[in-house]
Structure 1
Amino acid sequence: MVGHSVKILLIEDNIAEARLLQEYLHQAESKQFLLVHVKRLREALSELSHTSYDVILLDLTLPDSQGLSSLSLLIKQDPSVPIVVLTNTNDEDLAIEAVRQGAQDYLVKRQVNVHVLVRALCYAIERKQALETLRILNKSLENRVEERTAELVKAQEINQFKAEFVSMLSHDIRNPLNTILLAAGLLQNHEEKLSQEKKHSHLQMIRSAIKNMAQLLDEVSLIGKADSGKLQCDLIAMDLEAFCRQIVEEAQLSIKDKHLTVIFNCHQKLEPVLLDESLLHHILGNLLGNAIKYSLPGGIVNFELFGQEHAVIFKIQDWGIGISPQDQKHLFQPFHRGENVGGIAGTGLGLSIVKKCVDAHQGEILVNSEVGVGTTVSVILPRE
């Protein structure tokens, strides 16, 4: 809205009310407004068919339309334009229902002043833009899911787990999408009542949910590339001690939630080692995440780094629920989860991804685990 007039389509059959609103807009100092006034819904629909507007002011009582029927027709005509409904004092319930059905805000006519009108118009435009951004993002994420699914369909082993994959992906993406829709709805419908702290919290929920979806899609993409032979190492010289400490730092939130202690030790000074940074992040992030996830509250996780002449060794040890001998046979199969995980959330992709990233480095992964005792995972990667 910066740098140009805000174009408003006012749909109001009462001339006096329309003139009063226009006078309020003339008095506004912070914005420039260009108002087009029509008295009938059919005139408004005609206007929207050939002219773009930034916002609509809609009287819910019109000669050729009554109540919410006007709202649905306007949204159908141009779904991108935010709508602020105008209501009389005794029609507030109707106005609230209009907001539920797609309007961005409502104003009670006798309570309108310059400040209230300008604020409602500006907030309606901003909320509509935020929702449109989320809609585009969700559509983009859906397209990415379809693309990654198509890649997996071509993979050699897809017939063994396609049904499980579709079910898992639908479930794990629906949860963060629901979080986004819930938080966006609260911001849309109760924005004026929320404190700045609450608004920040809801926006943080949206960002976190988007991050979770992006991470899941990245992991799905990685499996697709590996199964189609397209996963390659992009080797760079890495300071492994600093990198491992960064992985521990990233895990701090889940560590605090379970009151765990993660102890990291680098047993000797290492010169930079040529490894793929992204693949190593998948390896260590998943292994440390599993150790934290399956540890008991208040427990300890050991994370060690060793250097040898021709290899580096990463060792992560926990004293959590452990893995049964039967489950260890299927440890690196996609979507396989142990019988003893209970209600602990997870996709069953983590160790499959770890194995593919280790194989891309031509490395080796060793697992030693016992139910009720804990698990030790060692990853050995060649220096060159």
Structure 2
Amino acid sequence: MLGHSVTILLIEDNIAEARLLQEYLQQAESKQFSLVHVKRLGDALNALRHNNYDVILLDLTLPDSQGLSSLSLLIEQSPSIPIVVLTNTNDEDLAIEAVRQGAQDYLVKRQVNVHVLVRALCYAIERKQTLESLRILNKSLENRVEESTAELVKAQEINQFKSDFVSMFSHDIRNPLNTILLAAGLLQDNEEKLSQEKKHSHFQMIRSAIKNMAQLLDEVSFIGKADAGRLQCDLVAVDLEAFCRQLVEESQLVIKDKQIKVIFNFPQPLEPILLDESLFRHILANLLGNAIKYSHPGGQVKLELFNQEKTVTLKIQDSGIGISIEDQKQLFQPFHRGDNVGGISGTGLGLAIVKKCVDAHEGEIFVDSEVGVGTTVTVIFPKI
């Protein structure tokens, strides 16, 4: 909410109308308003160059400007200042078009009172601030995308891979960006018509889309660090059996939602082995997540650990959609996804991350899969 006095630039050639609006603002109890009145668009543009304003009240009929040309010039000079259009009764269609072109609201002069005027000004400022915050966020995300992209492709010598990466990344990040823009547009254009429940739903959509973009950026950053040789492996003693059970427990919501049965097979007792706990979590979380995600509802996932003299083997088996022989050739390439995944969501980065983490442990990973039958992923860790 606004917590300071509100400075208004009123562009109105009718002195009587201007005085009436000033009287309304003086009557407002909840806010303190300061109004600067000019009669011409040229004077308004000059005032904007030398002073700061919180909101503009614009009459669309001025001596030196007519209709929407005033609006476009004001937006061009001061894009961050919200504009509320003032219109006569018979100009309402023009005012609606002004809102489509960037004005935050419009007021029909004969219908204005203290409450309507104050509410329109405050809502216009708040809406503009929300949109400005989203614009800054989008710009920040674009910068992070550029940084992550540069970090990833720096270590690559193949121009084709760079081209494919940029294309696929742009595609994957466009969906959440479009969700943000759509939800923000609905909130802006239909705020007074939307119920609180609908508003909450739109804000939830925005938050979820931002979370998805952040996750994608984190995954790309991880790949970039690995390719740049900056992936550290800090070894600690890890109880693999306890770790596996804990991660399955953390995945119970999605497991129950898909009615997946998880089977453990730990035939031999395991002593803790030296692993990087964070990297191992990436390995297990991605492999277990894929096994659940690509399994059919009511399917089965088997998680096994085998203790050998010099190695420990982790095996995760599912009875899901499987991977074709052709797709298996590119399985660990960033952004590669099988032709048969259909509408199942994913970034195509999970297995690439797993491969980097396994390599950091000087381990090995093997995939055995058949379309329509299922997939078994085997990871072998050396005992250090």
Same fold (TM over 0.5): yes
Q: CA deviation at 1:63?
A: 1.5
User: Is 1:333 matched up with 2:333?
Assistant: yes
Q: Give the total of aligned pairs.
A: 380
In the alignment, the residues of structure 1 paired with residue 255 and residue 134 of structure 2 have an alpha-carbon distance, to the nearest angstrom, of: 27
Q: CA deviation at 1:247?
A: 4.4
Aligned AA for 2:233? C
Deviations 1:129-162 (A, max 9, x none): 1111111111111111211222223214543512
Aligned AA for 1:224? G
**Counterparts of residues 265-344 of structure 1 (less than 5 Å):** 265=264, 275-303=275-303, 314-344=314-344
**Counterparts of residues 204-219 of structure 1 (less than 5 Å):** 204-219=204-219
User: Is 1:240 matched up with 2:239?
Assistant: no
Q: CA 1:309–1:213 in 2, change beyond 3 Å: closer, same or farther?
A: farther
Q: CA 1:71–1:167 in 2, change beyond 3 Å: closer, same or farther?
A: same
In the alignment, the residues of structure 2 paired with residue 254 and residue 63 of structure 1 have an alpha-carbon distance, to the nearest angstrom, of: 68
Q: Note if contact 2:260-2:292 (Cα within 8 Å) is conserved in structure 1.
A: no
User: Is 1:369 matched up with 2:372?
Assistant: no
Q: Note if contact 1:241-1:266 (Cα within 8 Å) is conserved in structure 2.
A: no
In the alignment, the residues of structure 1 paired with residue 355 and residue 382 of structure 2 have an alpha-carbon distance, to the nearest angstrom, of: 15
Q: CA 1:92–1:310 in 2, change beyond 3 Å: closer, same or farther?
A: farther
Q: Note if contact 1:8-1:36 (Cα within 8 Å) is conserved in structure 2.
A: yes
In the alignment, the residues of structure 1 paired with residue 23 and residue 383 of structure 2 have an alpha-carbon distance, to the nearest angstrom, of: 75
The corresponding residue for 2:359 is: 359
Deviations 1:84-116 (A, max 9, x none): 111122222211111111111111222222222
The corresponding residue for 1:203 is: 203
Look up the SS of the partner of 1:331 in the other structure: coil
In the alignment, the residues of structure 2 paired with residue 48 and residue 285 of structure 1 have an alpha-carbon distance, to the nearest angstrom, of: 55
**Counterparts of residues 9-158 of structure 1 (less than 5 Å):** 9-158=9-158
In the alignment, the residues of structure 2 paired with residue 357 and residue 29 of structure 1 have an alpha-carbon distance, to the nearest angstrom, of: 62
The corresponding residue for 1:261 is: 260
The corresponding residue for 1:178 is: 178
Question: What TM-score do the two structures reach when normalised by structure 2?
Answer: 0.88
In the alignment, the residues of structure 1 paired with residue 30 and residue 314 of structure 2 have an alpha-carbon distance, to the nearest angstrom, of: 60
Aligned AA for 1:55? V
In the alignment, the residues of structure 2 paired with residue 272 and residue 324 of structure 1 have an alpha-carbon distance, to the nearest angstrom, of: 36
Aligned AA for 1:13? D
Question: What TM-score do the two structures reach when normalised by structure 1?
Answer: 0.88
In the alignment, the residues of structure 2 paired with residue 248 and residue 333 of structure 1 have an alpha-carbon distance, to the nearest angstrom, of: 26
Task: Give the fraction of aligned pairs with identical amino acids, expressed as a percent.
Answer: 79
Aligned AA for 1:12? E
Deviations 1:269-315 (A, max 9, x none): 98987654543443233223322332224433345677889876654
Q: CA deviation at 1:260?
A: 3.6
Deviations 1:174-193 (A, max 9, x none): 11111111011011111111
Output the aligned Cα RMSD.
2.9
Q: Note if contact 2:156-2:162 (Cα within 8 Å) is conserved in structure 1.
A: no
Look up the SS of the partner of 2:336 in the other structure: coil
In the alignment, the residues of structure 2 paired with residue 195 and residue 84 of structure 1 have an alpha-carbon distance, to the nearest angstrom, of: 23
Question: Which has the larger displacement, 296-305 or 149-158?
Answer: 296-305
The corresponding residue for 1:225 is: 225
Q: Note if contact 1:145-1:217 (Cα within 8 Å) is conserved in structure 2.
A: yes
The corresponding residue for 1:164 is: 164
Q: Which runs of 5+ in 2 are unaligned?
A: none
Q: Which runs of 5+ in 1 are unaligned?
A: none
